[in-house]
A and B are shown apart, each in its own frame.
Chain A
Amino acid sequence: MTAVTDVSRSASNKPRFVVCEGNEAAAIGVGLARPDVVAVYPITPQSSLVEHLSQMIADGRLRADLMNVEGEHAVMCGLQGVALAGGRTFTATCGPGLAFMFEPYVRTPGLRLPMVASLVTRDLLSPQCVWGGQQDAMVVREAGWIQMYCETVQEILDTTVMAYKIAEHRDVMLPINVCHDGNYLSFGVTRVEVPDQQEVDDFLGPPNINWHIALDPSRPMGVDPLTGGAGGAGPRNFVRYRKGQVRGMQNALRVIREVHATWGECFGRYHAPLVEEYRLDDADAALVTIGSMTGAAKDAVDLARDQGEAVGLIKIKTFRPFPLQAIVAALAKVKRIGVVDRSVSFGWNCGPVYQEILGALYHTGKSVPAISFIGGLAGADITVEHFARAIALTRELEWDRASNEPVWLNESD
């Protein structure tokens, strides 16, 4: 375990560097955002994130209440109360913990509570597995939470702070999952730059979380009453709220871009907010990636380019809301597409990102052959060699030889 630097009492504006794992970077980001209440239940591979936060609170470096609750369901129920009382919140979970949290988890977006929660993504049971994979996050992609997938440890820290500003924006008011890959990012140790506390305070501004729905004696209101059944105004009320929620998701596409741009201006690090295009101009074929696998994929693209192959890469950072325009703009540049998923779609016999890329392809107005790669399940490493094979298979794609079968990258490891 690495040393946690003093985040809250920094005396200088000089950038400070620490060497830490992804879970600690997330904890540092949380500390900089100064949440009022942190409620957590430990679960692999998220546990060290909780431990870092507990230590920060125990040391007095983070002045937050730590709620040690009996399980993830109580975590989310408790934090809903905190948010309704106006507090900034944080939690983190994954896999089976997320599954246990599901009931209050799906209510949070409808209540428009701007929470931030890390998903340290993990493959879902069964078969028994405590290792990385994105199946848990993909299962909840229609739960109404914003999902941003990080590529690097630095991006975890930066995105965790940015997530509060995005979630609490009045045009958004939705909870955010900052997703980072279990094992590869959670325990991957690198050097990260820690921003200055005062600058983060200025960047985020004071929280105003329950201006619209509150547990507040001076503004008594019924929170989340029944909208009513058919035959009355109930379904009409329900549709109004649902449409507002969907609009908030679409607004988030703009706000995520704005906040990433502001972050770049303030701290000098520009992360692609929705979609990153890597060596895509004049590319014939492209890989689509999501999360930490992107680093190895970029290396494979570089090697292919060295061989004179016209290959590029499209990385998805924001998956919910789906960045349709940015994806369509990227897809329109290429003639062959290979999508690498770290999870499966049981319904479509492919990866879930692949299936959604096919949906986006419709909007490009052209059809191009595409192929689904599934790799990195249960903590398997997707290496440069795996991506080289994916690139080779993608470059060979022709309509007359198109297959609906996914390629399982780690099948023969």
Chain B
Amino acid sequence: MQRQSRDHFDASTIPDDLAPIATVLSGMLPGDWRSMRPLINRLKCVKCGLCWLYCPVQCVVEKPRWFEFDLAVCKGCGVCAQECPHRAIRMIAEVGR
């Protein structure tokens, strides 16, 4: 409602105090409210892809030689760090934002 990207249709004829509707797109991505973020140690990572498989929001992005995380989408749940067989991922606190 507040974070506008593009209008879907002209809602100006509808009184704005009638019923709660949203006519503009808001991604509502979980990155806004994450309290922890994953940090990957590329020396330990063997590119097995288990983190990519387990991530519930599918924020693990495959690069030519490593995996990284889309931090706009990551919600900081820590499943990747828990499941990584080589302990290549650890969770660090989001601070100073």
A80–chain B nearest beta-carbon distance, Å: 12
Nearest chain-A residue to B2 (Cβ)?
A233
Tell me if B8 is interfacial: C-beta within 8 Å of chain A.
yes
Tell me if B21 is interfacial: C-beta within 8 Å of chain A.
yes
The distance in angstroms between the C-alpha atoms of A168 and B20, with both chains bound, is 18
Tell me if B19 is interfacial: C-beta within 8 Å of chain A.
yes
B77–chain A nearest beta-carbon distance, Å: 21
The distance in angstroms between the C-alpha atoms of A188 and B17, with both chains bound, is 42
Which residues 146-192 in A have Cβ within 8 Å of B in the complex?
Answer: 173
The distance in angstroms between the C-alpha atoms of A213 and B19, with both chains bound, is 7
Chain B residue contacts of A404, Cβ below 8 A: none
Tell me if B96 is interfacial: C-beta within 8 Å of chain A.
no
Chain B residue contacts of A110, Cβ below 8 A: 19-20
Tell me if A55 is interfacial: C-beta within 8 Å of chain B.
no
From known contacts A220-B9, A221-B11, infer whether A227 and B1 are also in contact, taking CB-CB under 8 Å: yes
A412–chain B nearest beta-carbon distance, Å: 51
Which residues 1-42 in B have Cβ within 8 Å of A in the complex?
Answer: 1-2, 8-9, 11, 14-23, 26
Indicate if the CB atoms of A212 and B19 lie closer than 8 Å: yes
Tell me if A244 is interfacial: C-beta within 8 Å of chain B.
yes
Tell me if A320 is interfacial: C-beta within 8 Å of chain B.
no
Indicate if the CB atoms of A111 and B22 lie closer than 8 Å: no
| Binary A-proximity of B47-59 (CB < 8 A = 1, otherwise 0) | 0000000000000
Indicate if the CB atoms of A221 and B18 lie closer than 8 Å: no
Chain B residue contacts of A401, Cβ below 8 A: none
Indicate if the CB atoms of A221 and B20 lie closer than 8 Å: no
Which residues 68-96 in B have Cβ within 8 Å of A in the complex?
Answer: none
Indicate if the CB atoms of A221 and B2 lie closer than 8 Å: no
The distance in angstroms between the C-alpha atoms of A244 and B17, with both chains bound, is 5
Chain A residue contacts of B20, Cβ below 8 A: 110-111, 213, 223-225, 227, 237, 241
From known contacts A212-B18, A240-B17, A244-B17, infer whether A221 and B1 are also in contact, taking CB-CB under 8 Å: no
Kindly identify which residue among A111, A219, A228 contacts B19, using a CB–CB cutoff of 8 Å. A111
The distance in angstroms between the C-alpha atoms of A291 and B14, with both chains bound, is 37
Nearest chain-A residue to B17 (Cβ)?
A244
Indicate if the CB atoms of B1 and A213 lie closer than 8 Å: no
Majority secondary structure of chain B interface residues (helix, strand, loop or mixed): loop
Chain A residue contacts of B18, Cβ below 8 A: 112, 173, 212-213, 241, 244
Nearest chain-B residue to A211 (Cβ)?
B14
From known contacts A220-B9, A221-B8, A221-B9, infer whether A232 and B19 are also in contact, taking CB-CB under 8 Å: no
Nearest chain-A residue to B10 (Cβ)?
A219
Which residues 6-32 in A have Cβ within 8 Å of B in the complex?
Answer: none
Chain A residue contacts of B17, Cβ below 8 A: 240-241, 243-244, 247
From known contacts A221-B9, A225-B22, A228-B2, infer whether A212 and B16 are also in contact, taking CB-CB under 8 Å: no
The distance in angstroms between the C-alpha atoms of A173 and B14, with both chains bound, is 13
Indicate if the CB atoms of B19 and A220 lie closer than 8 Å: no
From known contacts A227-B1, A232-B2, A233-B2, infer whether A222 and B22 are also in contact, taking CB-CB under 8 Å: yes
Nearest chain-A residue to B18 (Cβ)?
A212
Nearest chain-A residue to B14 (Cβ)?
A212
The distance in angstroms between the C-alpha atoms of A198 and B26, with both chains bound, is 47
Kindly identify which residue among A218, A224, A244 contacts B15, using a CB–CB cutoff of 8 Å. A244
Q: List 24 A-B contacts (CB under 8 A).
A: A110-B19, A111-B19, A111-B20, A112-B18, A112-B19, A212-B15, A213-B20, A213-B21, A219-B9, A220-B8, A220-B9, A221-B9, A221-B21, A222-B23, A224-B19, A224-B20, A224-B21, A225-B1, A225-B20, A225-B22, A241-B18, A241-B19, A243-B17, A247-B17
B interface with A by C-beta (< 8 Å): 1-2, 8-9, 11, 14-23, 26
Extra A-B contacts (10), CB below 8 Å, given A212-B15, A220-B8, A237-B20: A112-B18, A173-B19, A212-B21, A213-B19, A213-B20, A219-B9, A224-B21, A227-B1, A240-B16, A244-B17
A interface with B by C-beta (< 8 Å): 110-112, 173, 211-213, 218-225, 227-228, 232-233, 237, 240-241, 243-244, 247
